[in-house]
Structure 1
Amino acid sequence: MYPKQIANEAGKAALSKKAENVFILNVKGLTAIADYLVFLSGNSETHIKAITQAIEKRLKKAGILYREEKSKGWVLLDYGSCVVNIFDKEKRVFYQVENLWADAEKILME
């Protein structure tokens, strides 16, 4: 599966669990950490957990491996060329991580 496909599948899985403000940034050539970054928000720790599990399950079916990092209000799923950031609303507003790549192509998901 290509990086853009991983990003799209992660976004679709997140939307299936009612994630909010879901979008993908194409950061290829702007950073060495990944080609695509996915950003989304959940309403609570329980909601974030459900979103995380949905993404993991969908991509595991495709044989895509990942590394997970967690802190209160933020889960990062590293699929190599695609990194998924799942925030609670407060942390997302506070860190505004997506603003680091203001020049990146933004792909909204609905």
Structure 2
Amino acid sequence: MNEQMLSMVIQAAEDKKAYDPVVLDLRGISLIADYFVICHGNSETQVQAIVTSIRKKADEQKWTVRGVEGLDNARWVLIDLGDIVVHVFHREDREYYNIERIWSDAKVVETV
């Protein structure tokens, strides 16, 4: 299920031209989630569109969205899908926070 869900989340983000999507495998590293999906947009409007696309896909698939944080500012939005947490950044904030570096112990997952 997680692989299919990851693929659909990436596709929903890419449908709105999300940049540089990365999936980190956190299993065995953190109890927060099994996977982080990280991507960015170049404007607040694009970040909101990416988040909307992912939420729409979640609704279509009847996935439980446990929470969405940061949508008001659209600089760093978290979408909690349980085993998968999606981070949708504004480009500048992704560069600043660089969470790929913070979670460098995690394996990068190749997605289809």
TM-score (normalizing by structure 1): 0.91
Asked if residue 70 in structure 1 is aligned to residue 70 in structure 2, the reply is: yes
CA distance in 1, matches of 2:88, 2:37: 8
Aligned length: 109
Does the C-alpha gap of structure 1 residues 89 and 14 become closer, same or farther in structure 2, counting only changes over 3 Å?
same
Q: Which runs of 5+ in 1 are unaligned?
A: none
**CA deviation string 1:52-107 (max 9, x = no partner):** 11111112111001110016311000011100000001101111112122121213
Asked if residue 100 in structure 1 is aligned to residue 77 in structure 2, the reply is: no
Could you say which residue in structure 1 is the equivalent of 2:33? 34
CA distance in 2, matches of 1:109, 1:34: 18
TM-score (normalizing by structure 2): 0.90
Indicate conservation of the 8 Å contact 1:34/1:81, yes or no. Answer: yes
1:6 to partner: Cα distance:
2.0
CA distance in 2, matches of 1:96, 1:108: 19
Q: Which runs of 5+ in 2 are unaligned?
A: none
CA distance in 2, matches of 1:15, 1:45: 16
Tell me the C-alpha RMSD between the 2 structures.
1.5
Could you say which residue in structure 2 is the equivalent of 1:55? 54
1:108 to partner: Cα distance:
4.7
Query: Of the two structures, which has the highest relative contact order with CA contacts closer than 8 Å and spacing of 6 or more?
Result: 1
Indicate conservation of the 8 Å contact 1:22/1:108, yes or no. Answer: no
1:9 to partner: Cα distance:
1.1
Indicate conservation of the 8 Å contact 1:4/1:36, yes or no. Answer: no
Could you say which residue in structure 1 is the equivalent of 2:86? 84
